[in-house]
Amino acid sequence: MLSMFLSTLDNVIVGTAMPTVVGELGGLRQLSWVVSAYTLAMAASTPVWAKLGDLYGRKAFFLAAITVFLLGSGLSGAAGTMNELIAFRVLQGLGAGGMGVGAMAIMGELVAPRERARYAGMSASIVALANVGGPIVGGFITEHLGWRWAFYLNLPVGAIMLIWCQAMLHLSARRKNPKVDYVGAALLMTTTVAIVLVTTWGGTQYAWGSPQVLTALAVSVVGLPLFVWSQTRVPEPIMPLTLFANRNFTLAMVMTVVASIGMFGAVTFLPLFQQTVQGVSVSNSGQLLLPMMVSILVVTQIGGRFRRRSGRYKIYPVLGGAFLTGGCIGLATMDTTTSRLTTAVYMAVVGVGIGFLAQTTMMIAQNSVEMKDMGAASGSATLLRTLGGSFGVALFGALFNAHVAGGAAGADRAPATLGKLPPALRDAYLHSVAAGMQSIFTWAAVLCAIALVAALFIVEVPLRQRGAPAPAPASAPAAQE
């Protein structure tokens, strides 16, 4: 729980401290890379950490990931230039990738699926707490202690994690003389970085037709089939393709991707609508998503308790897809007259959907594989969630910019400058922002409806007890019942 809390909290705190960092270190043009470097390293390293844990033992690599994260945190806090900070954030992100997926894989090994629902609710609560409390903690630390303590704060908490896990965490031994798929790891990391760069750069930092975006796109197009081909040629692939022979696992991955596209894209642009159209102050930005986070917290706790008692779970991804779709449909109706209360209700509905769906997809994925592949399954789900989020932000950013650019008021207006515009120009800009939001959430609703359809085809395999083998992969429901 602590590792998941730290890896989530860190990026939120750092985002709040960035204006102060730029004021001391300079490098305004490199500002986005302080966050992007962390995200890229975390996404690219996650499946590799997961597979190494499968092969050599989860405890050793979990502790190694914590150590790398703490080293990166200490060096980031001591950085003297923006380039140094970016480099150390890469190191920190590498550790965070292993911490997050390591925690999920360890949970999958220690806890039987039927009991795992309770722990999934706890982990979702921790992540929600980090997202809500991060801006508040980051603002306090930056103002009273200085931005460097946004990184130094990780050190004492991380030390507790290391000592506790070394003494108390007991896991089964791993296979002897494993063979690491170095080629597959290199291809996956390169391809992941390229894909995230395409979705991060395209249409924002660089034009879609720029050499930078086209190069990253070319690496993605070439690297992905090469990686898939490499996974069929080695005895211990980083991401075993046999996992996708299990229908439930594949459907869980589909739900993960499309729900992440809709969720992350929506969460990114909702605060902009609230600040620009509804006049919410920037200083309250940490509380803008509170209705969504509270509903996630409540639903994960209640859903976890009921799933633990009944052992049944198919209804939860179905409900999750339905609530997500309904909430996005509601958000797609927003315009310049929509009240904050109405927006909060729609956000709460979306949060209910996320709460039902997010924790269940990981549980379905882990329940569909053998214990030896627990890390690979967790890593695949985590990676696809990250990539889905990147695609969502890029897709919805393109839709939003297309509408705002056509609003005749400029796409780069800050909310604080709107009062200086002539009334007609201001109204045109607000209507273009609202139209952009309507387009975003219309497409988000379509994507979430795909997750709902996928959930309907899930076969409810009984949740196995600890140490029991996974059900055999099957293509027909009768083989899994």
Residues 345-388: pLDDT tens digits?
998 998 888 888 877 888 888 778 777 777 788 888 888 887 88
Confirm whether 1-174 and 243-464+472-481 share one CATH topology: yes
Only one residue has tokens 């909702």, namely: 270
Q: Which two tokens stand for residue 45?
A: 């390293």
pLDDT at 64: 93
Q: Using alpha carbons only, how large is the chain's radius of gyration in Å?
A: 22
Kindly report, residue by residue over 260-269, the tens digit of the pLDDT: 887 776 677 7
Q: Which of 305, 284, 362, 361 is nearest to 103 (CA)?
A: 362
Confidence of residue 95 (pLDDT cuts 50, 70, 90): very high
Structure-model confidence comparison of residues 422 and 81, the more confident one:
81
Residue 139 above 50 pLDDT? yes
CATH class name, domain 243-464+472-481: mainly alpha
Listed by start position, the domains of the chain span: 1-174, 182-233, 243-464+472-481
Q: Closest Cα partner for 118 from 310, 383, 324? A: 310
pLDDT at 33: 74
Q: What is the pLDDT of residue 175?
A: 59
Cα torsion at 261, 360, 321, 351 (round to 10°)? -70
Q: Most confidently modeled of 18-32, 120-134, 271-285, 452-466? A: 452-466
Top pLDDT among 410 and 176 is at 176
- Quick one: pLDDT at residue 286? 53
Using alpha carbons only, give the angle 282, 288, 289 rounded to the nearest 5 degrees: 145
Whether the Cβ atoms of residue 300 and residue 353 lie closer than 8 Å to each other: no
Residue tagged 């965490």 (tokens): 169
Helix (H, G, I), strand (E, B) or coil at 202: strand
pLDDT of residue 236: 81
270: closest CA among 191, 351, 381?
A: 351
* Amino acid letter, residue 401: N
How far apart CA 1 and CA 21 sit, in angstroms, is 29
State the average pLDDT over residues 10-21. 70
Res 318: pLDDT: 92
Q: What is the mean pLDDT of residues 462-480?
A: 48
Question: Residue 176 in contact with residue 198, Cβ under 8 Å?
Answer: no
Write down the pLDDT at residue 473.
46
Quick one: pLDDT band at residue 281, thresholds 50, 70, 90?
low
**pLDDT tens-digit profile of 304-326?**
777 777 777 888 889 999 999 99
Q: How confident is the model at residue 15 (pLDDT cuts 50, 70, 90)?
A: low
pLDDT tens for residues 411-446? 455 555 666 667 777 788 788 888 888 888 898 899
Lowest mean pLDDT among 86-95, 116-125, 204-213: 116-125
Given this model, what pLDDT does residue 468 score? 47
Q: Which of 197, 199, 211, 267 is nearest to 33 (CA)?
A: 197
Q: Evaluate if residue 44 carries a pLDDT over 90.
A: no
Decide: helix, strand or coil at residue 205: coil
The token pair at 476 is 């027909």
Identify the helix (H) or strand (E) that includes residue 271.
helix 247-276
**Is residue 481 predicted with pLDDT exceeding 50?**
no
Q: Is there a contact between 105 and 375 (Cβ–Cβ < 8 Å)?
A: yes
For residues 116, 118, 122, 128, the Cα torsion angle rounded to the nearest 10 degrees is 100
Beta bridge partners of 206: 202
Name the β-bridge partners of 202. 206
Confidence category of residue 222, pLDDT binned at 50, 70, 90: very high
Report how far residue 74's alpha carbon sits from residue 112's, in angstroms, rounded to the nearest whole number. 36
Q: What are the tens digits of pLDDT across the range 146-191? A: 778 888 888 988 898 899 888 888 877 665 667 778 888 888 888 8
Question: What pLDDT sits at residue 474?
Answer: 45
Highest mean pLDDT among 25-29, 51-55, 330-334: 330-334
- 466 to each of 115, 469, 470, how far by Cα in Å? 9, 9, 10
pLDDT at 121 over 80: no
CATH 1.20.1250.20 fits 1-174, yes or no: yes
**Which of left, alpha, beta for 280 (phi over 0: left; psi -120 to 50: alpha)?**
beta
Whether 475 has a pLDDT exceeding 50, the answer reads no
According to the model, what pLDDT value does residue 117 have?
Answer: 64
pTM of the model: 0.75
